[in-house]
Structure 1
């Protein structure tokens, strides 16, 4: 698309000056307008807006300073760049022109190449300013749209969280009844039903337990974002002991070895949530570590944070797999192990709520180190 030629308005009361400038600018492909005094220039601009004004200071009628002042007072014309043409050489008059809003000045007698250079410079600056203003306007519009979308998304997420919590909560009771009834059937009536029926009841029992695990995970995931808890100093050793008790059957099933340090730092946290972090990390290590799994856990100070970690002896993870971690309902290991892909997303939500971060360091063939960070307790910082 061909851009139209810039329009220059020459305002001068000396015909010879006008003629010389007109011919010179015309040969350089400018559209040139002419006014013999300030009043005429102001009237002319009402009908045709120039891109730049060359304005003589000393004129009959209103002088260049007053003309400039009136143009800058008008919102329609205030952004037109004005270059003064003046024979005045004292600093006061130059500064007065700049204070009134002029962008530049040239001294008489006019040097044509100098005028051309200054015109092109200020047309370029003006064009860039217009582009910047347009981009700023577009950015403001986009920001408003983004804020609106974010508000809508927050509402939708709140509705989804509420719906998930309601569904999970309402499913928990009937699932608990299924587990209880199928357990009673297996315990008290196993001799009265066929082997096939016993297998079916066992399947109902196992499926119900799996579903209740998913429901509990969903309820925990939803409650973490909503629940405000009091953070208190915690001894990680006590929490690890509770975790080991919960995972006793898994440790026996997988014949897993867990190497635990004798001493732990004191951190600020909420014990039930931190217990869930370790349960998820350790159970994943037992399922997907080596055969048999050998897990080492520990803690490393990082400023006012403590980095807790678990190192496994599994096959390790690719960078592509690492990028998918901590995403709800994502399972990376295509094995026969049961899972619903909520564990690591629960870990991430808990840790971020507690002011820390999660991550993993791994390479295929070299095992993995899963970690999370938590704030040191003020007791730990004070060395107590």
Structure 2
């Protein structure tokens, strides 16, 4: 059987009156209206009841033996437990002075006997509403005071961290990327004074080459959210160049959207890293080249014939040495690109020839692994470095072939993308503005959490790939740098278990 709904009383009312007829009348009337009623005939008894379980409202007679209504009200208002309970006096005394005294001792209303039931109900409901609103207002004020206190503590804590942090920190408006505050570490790194920085933008202070891009990134923070570890070339007031990692966080300052910029100076770390990579790479090339020559000599059988076991060991040594040489060359290539020591030699070159050459170069590998290559080129002229683009396409094709199963197909195709933005005149054909090259495989695919990092150095989908597939983890990083040098973009879409599609977008020369 379903339970009957519980009917809670509208309010708890305490009636204090020495006349039983009045008590019975008020109690019956209020109970009928859904109120919980407690009735007492003495002021002292009413005080004890109010202190034991404070009611929501008190109806109080004035003329009572031992303790009159005024004295009862004074006791109620003197106690913290009962002070805020609204008290309505009900009395046969109708003189103005009696009413004034009732209000003076803390009453909220005065009803003269004989009373009308409708009037009593209306006044009770009115004062209960006022009392509830006062309670809500008090609760809201307490919450607001707590929020103000918590905010003040948080701001104080933030201010301490902001000022004492060893990391350079700046706050800029989202709307125009102007600095509104910076910490001492930022001033120390930049060489500027606080007055020179505040109110200016990074571009106006000439803080680096990509300040416009940083400003645009700040303005897009409400849409993009937080960004972390953006590498940025920072220029000080004395034109000293530093490498920093910038993290951006959207914050609110007094209703104004702002960007919190935290910088990490990695100049020394980058210098040591580059020196170490360069030193190790160059020191490795000579012995590796010598080792590869010795292995080739052994393989030519000029020093004698190896048995089957010896041939197998020689093959393993040759494969691993070739992989080490590729790794060293990839590291050197990547570092030269990052330092600007590799310059692209751009020329006019046909895109169809580029795709055909790349496919022919990888055909032997595809045949060996029983993977079919299908090419769909397009005739269009590029302004590019064909050697570098060929390096990119062969790297992407090599990955697609390596991660395909025998019998799979790898597709390389190109399409033209029409210009956007400027509306063409009527009957005027749209001119292509970009060449989009796609390399699609049917391999194992790339997990979603790896899609954003595979273009970083030494990142691979599976740690075992470097052993099983012979990869260095640098190929896609080099591809990204080459495409960026051509003002293009490279990205990937993939479905796990169904394959991946790499996209290379290259701008076409202006007609």
TM-score band, normalised by shorter chain: 0.5 to 0.7
Q: Secondary structure, in 3 states, of the residue corresponding to 1:297?
A: strand
**1:316 offset after TM fit, Å?**
2.3
Q: Name the CA shift for 1:262/1:358 in 2 (closer, same or farther; >3 Å).
A: closer
Q: Name the CA shift for 1:245/1:161 in 2 (closer, same or farther; >3 Å).
A: farther
Paired position in structure 1 for 2:325: 212
Structure whose residues are more often strand by fraction: 2
**1:138 offset after TM fit, Å?**
4.5
Which among 321, 344, 348 is matched to residue 480 of structure 2?
348
Paired position in structure 2 for 1:201: 314
CA distance in 2, matches of 1:323, 1:175: 33
**1:289 offset after TM fit, Å?**
2.5
Q: Name the CA shift for 1:351/1:234 in 2 (closer, same or farther; >3 Å).
A: same
Paired position in structure 2 for 1:48: none
The aligned runs of 1:160-239 (5 Å cut-off) are 160-189=273-302, 191-225=304-338, 226=340, 227-239=342-354
Higher RCO (CA < 8 A, seq sep 6+): 1
Q: Secondary structure, in 3 states, of the residue corresponding to 1:247?
A: helix
CA distance in 2, matches of 1:313, 1:220: 30
| Greater C-alpha radius of gyration | 2
In the alignment, does 2:444 pair up with 1:311? no
CA distance in 2, matches of 1:364, 1:203: 32
Which among 462, 470, 476 is matched to residue 338 of structure 1?
470
**1:216 offset after TM fit, Å?**
1.6
In the alignment, does 2:404 pair up with 1:286? no
Structure whose residues are more often helix by fraction: 1
Paired position in structure 1 for 2:113: none
The aligned runs of 1:1-384 (5 Å cut-off) are 138-139=181-182, 141=184, 143-144=186-187, 150=244, 152-189=265-302, 191-225=304-338, 226=340, 227-302=342-417, 303=419, 304-333=433-462, 334=464, 336-378=468-510, 382=511
CA distance in 1, matches of 2:186, 2:435: 38
**1:194 offset after TM fit, Å?**
4.9
Q: Secondary structure, in 3 states, of the residue corresponding to 1:291?
A: coil
CA distance in 1, matches of 2:306, 2:416: 59
**1:202 offset after TM fit, Å?**
2.9
Q: Secondary structure, in 3 states, of the residue corresponding to 1:295?
A: strand
CA distance in 2, matches of 1:185, 1:287: 28
**1:284 offset after TM fit, Å?**
0.5
**1:143 offset after TM fit, Å?**
4.5
- Structure 1: which 5+ runs fail to align? 1-127
Q: Name the CA shift for 1:354/1:210 in 2 (closer, same or farther; >3 Å).
A: same
Q: Name the CA shift for 1:190/1:286 in 2 (closer, same or farther; >3 Å).
A: farther
**1:364 offset after TM fit, Å?**
2.1
CA distance in 2, matches of 1:300, 1:250: 25
TM (normalized to structure 1)?
Answer: 0.57
- Aligned alpha-carbon RMSD (Å): 3.2
Whether the 8 Å CA contact 1:269–1:374 is kept in 2: the answer is no
CA distance in 2, matches of 1:188, 1:317: 43
CA distance in 1, matches of 2:507, 2:270: 28
Whether the 8 Å CA contact 1:265–1:299 is kept in 2: the answer is no
Whether the 8 Å CA contact 2:334–2:478 is kept in 1: the answer is yes
**1:359 offset after TM fit, Å?**
0.6
CA distance in 1, matches of 2:313, 2:408: 32
Paired position in structure 2 for 1:37: none
Number of residue equivalences: 251
Q: Is 283-292 or 222-231 further displaced after alignment? A: 222-231
**1:250 offset after TM fit, Å?**
0.8
**1:223 offset after TM fit, Å?**
2.2
**1:270 offset after TM fit, Å?**
1.0
CA distance in 2, matches of 1:158, 1:242: 38
Whether the 8 Å CA contact 1:351–1:357 is kept in 2: the answer is yes
Q: Is 278-287 or 170-179 further displaced after alignment? A: 170-179
CA distance in 2, matches of 1:374, 1:254: 30
Q: Secondary structure, in 3 states, of the residue corresponding to 1:327?
A: coil
**1:230 offset after TM fit, Å?**
3.8
CA distance in 1, matches of 2:365, 2:379: 24
Q: Secondary structure, in 3 states, of the residue corresponding to 1:250?
A: helix
- Structure 2: which 5+ runs fail to align? 1-151, 163-170, 172-179, 191-233, 235-241, 245-263, 420-432
TM (normalized to structure 2)?
Answer: 0.44
CA distance in 1, matches of 2:181, 2:372: 60
Q: Secondary structure, in 3 states, of the residue corresponding to 2:300?
A: helix
CA distance in 2, matches of 1:158, 1:299: 40
